[in-house]
Amino acid sequence: MPTYLYRMILFAMVLVAIPVTTIGMISYQISSKDIEKKVKESNAQILLQNQMRIEQVLKNVEMGAVQYLNSPLVTDNLYNDLIQDDFQTITSLAKGLYNLHSLSAVADTHLINLDHNWMIGNLGFTSTQEYSDIEQLKDYAKNPKNLFWLADENGIRMVVKLPIIAPSTSPKALLIIEMSKTELEKGLAQTKQLGDIYVLNQAHIPFLSNGGASFNTEALLAPLKAEKEVNGYFEGKATAVNYRVSSNNWTYVSVVSIDQVTMESKKIALVTINVCLIVFIVISAAAFYGSRRMYSPIRRLFQTIEQFGGETAEPRRKDEFAYIEDRFNALFRTRKQFQQQLQGQMGQMKEFILLKLFMGQVTESEFAFKVDAYGFAEKGRPLGVIALQIDSLQDTRYMESDKELLLFAIQNIVSELLPADRLLGSLLLDQSQVSLLTGDAGDPQELQRSFHQAAEEIKAKVHELLQLKVSIGISRVFTRYTDATNAHAEALEALKRRIRLGSDIIIHYDDIESVPENSNHLAASLNYLEDYFINALKTGDATATFEHFDQYIASIMDRDIRFNDFQFVMVELITEIHGHVQQQGGTLESLIETKSVLQTFMKLNTVQEITLWFKTDLLPPALAFFKGRADSQYINLAHQMVEMIHNGYEQDISLESCAAQLKYHPVYVSRVFKKEIGVTFIDYLTNYRVNMAKKWLKETDMKISEIAERLNYTNSTGFIRTFRKLTGMTPGQFRDS
């Protein structure tokens, strides 16, 4: 159905039917509104340009002031008690202030030390009391901001409170920069053809204008205050106003007369009437014939799109152009969405393919098929893998929880630092940042040098930006894509040699010396040190525990071992500690609040990280656990030994027999007994036997030899000697007393 053809004919007939006068009036109204709109848009644009121009001047002053205040000369001397004799320092500070005068619109500067009562300005080095308004300085200090602008009848100035790092109502110093009102007004548009421009402060008091224009406060201030938006437009009775509010609450206002704008549109009225008469005659004569001829190409285009569009009902509800527009819009939207999705997923897909390559999950033919799609190197080009790991976060400003974020930052540094023709891809893999590199050099040694240079650039940039020490392992050169798995393992293996070579280094796999397998004998040779360490840990002795642990680590490091062997020994030590904690009714995971101790341990990549983790995360809670258990066991163990003495004093009882019965080492039970009872085991046993002898001497007629034999003395002489030593008299004298 030729909908658009009928509309064309109808439109032509309507134009003919409409009275010329009506067309003229409508045209006049449209043109007037259009001119007003253009003037409004033009004024808004000019206002924006003036705002940007002035704010750029202010921003330049702010940047110059901050740069001056952050200079070493200012930071080193600003807070000192300067006197007139400090001529060189004062001259240097004044020179910096003088340089600020080179900035646009800067009229005067003052550097004021409030603590030491000195000021440097255009008048030289003077006392703070010579400032024009001392009370004004107090008001500046109370301002909650450290850097702010003030504009009032006294002028335009920027105030910086120092130190600038943290807000304070008691600053030590002030930097005041006075601005030239005349120079700033020169930056405003000078032409009044499109109205006047004003700049109002926070209190809506105008302090700048173009050409000294007079601001109509009564007519404009009230509606301007009522506006809530930061920029906008409103009309008064005779004026049209554009306004913009800046970040420092200054209001930029453009005012233009509505009569002046509409005056130009009246000239269009006569032209509009004449044009309408011509259109009336032409359209009336050619409407039907011309419409049919004009519709022919539209009909052919519509039929073609309808044929491929697959929709039949839609054209009946819309005209041909609307239908064509919808089809094109749908096509463009689909194309744009597809491009955005493809672009957004390209990087992820490249990392995914690279991950599969390093994991050995991609065949040579499959990866070669994806070379062009994902931008990898051409088949046969020499390749290499570098793996980067953070050595340690100890003595840095970062915490262990920041490690993943730091690796992500390093990933971005590598992506931006290395050119695309050298960096084929990079990703984060198991606490490491891994990159696949290529080069144009045909000589493998030359290519290795280029890889080493790239590693040095990365290492230096990471240290510069993040202040981190990292180590980088470099694999051997290879040409087959599927060899990337082995190359990744080689780079990681090179990093493990930090146990011997130290941290903050770059290691090539080719430079690794073979190390004999000695892990089977390592643990056995450290058994005695491990026993000392475990015994100290079980007793809760923190000093001895850390001392034996340091000796244990030092003994391991004295041997020429690999990092894997070191990990194996430390895992055995963790297992040993875990077993003793379980014997005492606890779990190692609950002590250090983690789901898996071994998973946490395996994330550590250096000897320093492992040692620090033991000392800060594992041993302190384990020591507290064992000490708590030991304190509760001491009393029980001592009481058991006292009970053994009371029950077996007539027998051949000894410290060793009690320790064997209680299944503890004699040294341990001796220390526990002395700590809880206050005397040694032998002294307590001897005193108890003498007390029993006293009782028998007073209450029975037993002979002294019988008492000595019953108390398990080999002869009476030894009993009498012991009795006299403790009581000061012989058994016979004690009985007769």
| Interval 200-239: pLDDT, tens | 888 888 888 876 556 666 667 777 777 778 888 888 777 7
Q: Are residues 438 and 478 in the same domain?
A: yes
pLDDT at 376: 61
Residue of 500, 622, 502 whose CA lies nearest to 573? 622
Residue of 179, 64, 177 whose CA lies nearest to 111? 177
Number of residues that make up the chain = 737
Q: How confident is the model at residue 64 (pLDDT cuts 50, 70, 90)?
A: very high
| Residue 328 placed within a domain | no
Q: How far is it, in rounded angstroms, from Cα 377 to Cα 374?
A: 9
Last residue of some domain: 494, 511, 528? 511
The pLDDT of residue 402 is above 80: yes
Last residue of some domain: 479, 511, 543? 511
| Residue 518 placed within a domain | no
The percentage of the chain sitting over the pLDDT mark of 90, rounded to a whole number, equals 6
Question: How distant, in Å, are the alpha carbons of 436, 440, 447, 450, 478 from that of 443?
Answer: 18, 9, 6, 11, 12
Can you say how many angstroms the Cα of residue 401 is from the centroid of all Cα atoms in its chain? 11
Q: How confident is the model at residue 386 (pLDDT cuts 50, 70, 90)?
A: very high
pLDDT at 339: 66
| DSSP sequence for 262-274 | HHHHTHHHHHHHH
The pLDDT of residue 289 is above 90: no
| Residue 579 placed within a domain | no
Residue 236: domain span:
187-259
The pLDDT of residue 174 is above 80: yes
| Residue 670 placed within a domain | no
Q: How far is it, in rounded angstroms, from Cα 301 to Cα 293?
A: 14
Q: Are residues 222 and 146 in the same domain?
A: no
Look up residue 693 and give its two tokens.
């002898």
Query: Are 93 and 73 within 8 A, CB to CB?
Result: yes
Q: Are residues 119 and 253 in the same domain?
A: no
- Where residue 410 sits, what CATH number does that domain have? 3.30.70.270
| Residue 412 placed within a domain | yes
The pLDDT of residue 347 is above 70: no
pLDDT at 176: 92
Q: How far is it, in rounded angstroms, from Cα 238 to Cα 260?
A: 10
pLDDT at 195: 72
Q: How far is it, in rounded angstroms, from Cα 383 to Cα 421?
A: 12
In whole numbers, what is the pLDDT of the chain averaged over residues?
A: 80
The pLDDT of residue 522 is above 80: no
| Residue 149 placed within a domain | yes
pLDDT at 336: 76
Question: How distant, in Å, are the alpha carbons of 413, 434, 614 from that of 403?
Answer: 15, 15, 18
pLDDT at 159: 92
Residue of 658, 662, 712, 714 whose CA lies nearest to 686? 712
Average pLDDT of the segment spanning 522-528: 57
The pLDDT of residue 494 is above 70: yes
Q: Are residues 401 and 438 in the same domain?
A: yes
What are the tens digits of pLDDT across the range 98-116? 888 888 889 899 999 988 8
Last residue of some domain: 213, 237, 259? 259
The pLDDT of residue 60 is above 90: yes
Lowest mean pLDDT segment, chosen from 153-162, 567-576, 641-650: 567-576
Q: How far is it, in rounded angstroms, from Cα 473 to Cα 509?
A: 7
pLDDT at 313: 45
Average pLDDT of the segment spanning 506-517: 67
Q: Are residues 209 and 356 in the same domain?
A: no
What are the tens digits of pLDDT across the range 456-473? 999 899 989 998 888 898
Can you say how many angstroms the Cα of residue 571 is from the centroid of all Cα atoms in its chain? 33
pLDDT at 388: 92
- Where residue 154 sits, what CATH number does that domain have? 3.30.450
Q: How confident is the model at residue 648 (pLDDT cuts 50, 70, 90)?
A: confident
Return the higher-pLDDT residue of 669 and 734.
734
Q: How confident is the model at residue 518 (pLDDT cuts 50, 70, 90)?
A: very low
Q: How far is it, in rounded angstroms, from Cα 271 to Cα 152?
A: 51
Lowest mean pLDDT segment, chosen from 106-115, 249-258, 370-379: 370-379
Q: How confident is the model at residue 1 (pLDDT cuts 50, 70, 90)?
A: very low
Eight-state DSSP code of residue 378: P
The pLDDT of residue 312 is above 50: no
Domain count, the chain: 3
pLDDT at 112: 92
**Of the spans 38-42, 146-150, 218-222, 313-317, which averages the highest pLDDT?**
146-150
pLDDT at 31: 76
Q: How far is it, in rounded angstroms, from Cα 195 to Cα 240?
A: 9
Lowest mean pLDDT segment, chosen from 140-154, 160-174, 219-233: 219-233
Q: What is the pTM of this model?
A: 0.38
What are the tens digits of pLDDT across the range 181-204? 888 888 776 555 567 888 888 888
Residue burial 88-97, b: 16+ Cβ < 10 Å; e: rest: ebbeebbebb
pLDDT at 119: 92
Q: Are residues 167 and 205 in the same domain?
A: no
| Residue 550 placed within a domain | no
Secondary structure string (H, E, C) spanning 66-109: HHHHCCHHHHHHCCCCCCCCCHHHHHHHHHHHHHHCCCCCEEEE
Q: How far is it, in rounded angstroms, from Cα 159 to Cα 176?
A: 5
- Where residue 200 sits, what CATH number does that domain have? 3.30.450.30
Q: Are residues 438 and 496 in the same domain?
A: yes
Q: Are residues 365 and 390 in the same domain?
A: yes
Query: Are 476 and 494 within 8 A, CB to CB?
Result: no
The pLDDT of residue 310 is above 60: no
The pLDDT of residue 37 is above 90: no
Q: Are residues 165 and 191 in the same domain?
A: no
| Residue 494 placed within a domain | yes
Residue of 107, 108, 174, 167 whose CA lies nearest to 136? 174
The pLDDT of residue 574 is above 90: no
Q: How confident is the model at residue 517 (pLDDT cuts 50, 70, 90)?
A: very low
What are the tens digits of pLDDT across the range 662-673? 877 888 788 878
Look up residue 14 and give its two tokens.
């309507």
Q: Are residues 218 and 170 in the same domain?
A: no
Q: Are residues 129 and 244 in the same domain?
A: no
Q: Are residues 174 and 200 in the same domain?
A: no
